[in-house]
Amino acid sequence: MKDFPIVYLNSNDGSGLLAFGEGPVMKANVGSALKELYDFTQVHKGKYMFGYLGYDIKNEIEDLKSENNDYLDFPDLFFYVPKYVVELKSENLMFLSGDRDTEALDFVVDFLEKEIMAQYPKQEIHFKSRISKEEYIEKIINLKEHIQQGDIYEVTFCQEFYAENVDLIDPMGEYFKMNNVTRAPFSSYIQFEGNYILCGSPERFLQKTGDDLVSQPIKGTSKRGADQEEDVRLRDLLTKDPKEKAENVMIVDLVRNDLSKVAKKGSVNVRELFGIYSFETVHQLISTIHADQKEGTTIVELLKALFPMGSMTGAPKISAMELIEEFESFKRGVYSGAIGYIKPNGDFDFNVVIRSLLYSKANRYLSCPVGGAITINSNPEMEYEECITKVDAIMKALNNRGK
């Protein structure tokens, strides 16, 4: 594969967007990142733009800080105007940007062959936990004390699994292996300048279609069953679990409040509450909130109102993010940020970066963060097991152990 950036957004419904080829790139860190993004979108208006926003962009939106160790050194923000954008749908190719020339066709054919053949080097990766199970449980107990004191209602606490001194032989191949296991609807792959993001996200952060805004927070997780009977039982238990439903409704209220800042009066509405969705490795509770944006609202104004996704912070949002910074042991960076694209007409779609592997070739460092929502009813042992459920599928795929 070439040295230019590559972005692949795969909906796992038979369609995807592949962006590649030489083109303008912007990278920015907290300080002026959102202004630089706005300027970039103005300069390249009418073109496709692909990229990500890291979680720590929060520090430009609110008076917050990020002082935990950063082991990856990714830019806080990355966007790219590719030479080629190809829609892959039911084995058909549609060029949305760039000419259907030999260079592009050769690249797409190589890419598709790599995905379909699935013949990747076997590479055993051994991960360590940034904190022990005992430390995790102690932190959850302390966070619940903050909830008891009324500082917050809910907080999404994350831990990191990581591997050092790793020379990942085939990052794109590892993404395909992981996607074959997770089959998530907001799966994505990004590579640029030795930075790799392998994302198996099932969650939409924000979609804009005309004036219509859609956000779909996930809160509530159950593992899949070993057989159909157990699977149905676990799915049913999730739909009735008061703790999981309480998590979900708190984040729905938070997202409704965030959307109201940029929505036409009276237009915010919950189209689906506690929708149950089954993926390859987990069942999830997903709610869908719609709103009509105020006329003339820019993408940066939308981001300032809604970013980062409430499902990855907690409520109240600012207090939760302050406690996240205090209790977590790593800088989130891209994790719990957003990956997506902007269309030439200004519409866009972004996911929430979860269920992901982040790899720095220069630092030889591989990171797999994972987390869950903590409420007053959280059982620390069960919260830890939920983290393991979420990360286990990724580890199995990476180390060629199947589902």
Sign (positive or negative) of CA dihedral 190, 191, 197, 200: positive
Sign (positive or negative) of CA dihedral 142, 147, 151, 155: positive
Neighbour-count burial for 131-166, b at 16+ CB within 10 Å, e otherwise: beeeebbebbeebbebbeeeebbbbbbbbbbbbeeb
* Residue 219 annotated to the active site: yes
Residue 263 DSSP one-character state: B
Token code pair at residue 88: 């892959």
Q: Which residues contact 251 (CB under 8 A, 6 or more apart)?
A: 154, 217, 219, 287, 310, 311, 315, 373
> How many other CB atoms are there within 10 angstroms of residue 61's CB atom?
19
> How many other CB atoms are there within 10 angstroms of residue 173's CB atom?
18
Distances (CA, A) of 36 to 4, 68, 264, 293: 21, 25, 27, 23
Contact 288, 275 (CB under 8 A): yes
Pick the catalytic residue from 139, 177, 219, 223.
Answer: 219
Q: Degrees (nearest 5) of the Cα angle 33, 35, 40?
A: 90
* Residue 325 annotated to the active site: no
Spatial CA neighbour of 300 closest among 269, 353, 342 = 342
Q: What DSSP string describes 198-245?
A: EEEE--EEEEEETTEEEEE-EEEEEEPPSSHHHHHHHHHHHHH-HHHH
Cα-Cα end-to-end distance for the chain: 28
Pick the catalytic residue from 154, 203, 247, 383.
Answer: 203
Spatial CA neighbour of 186 closest among 17, 26, 300, 45 = 17
Contact 235, 257 (CB under 8 A): no
Contact 52, 78 (CB under 8 A): yes
Task: List, by residue number, the catalytic residues.
Answer: 203, 219
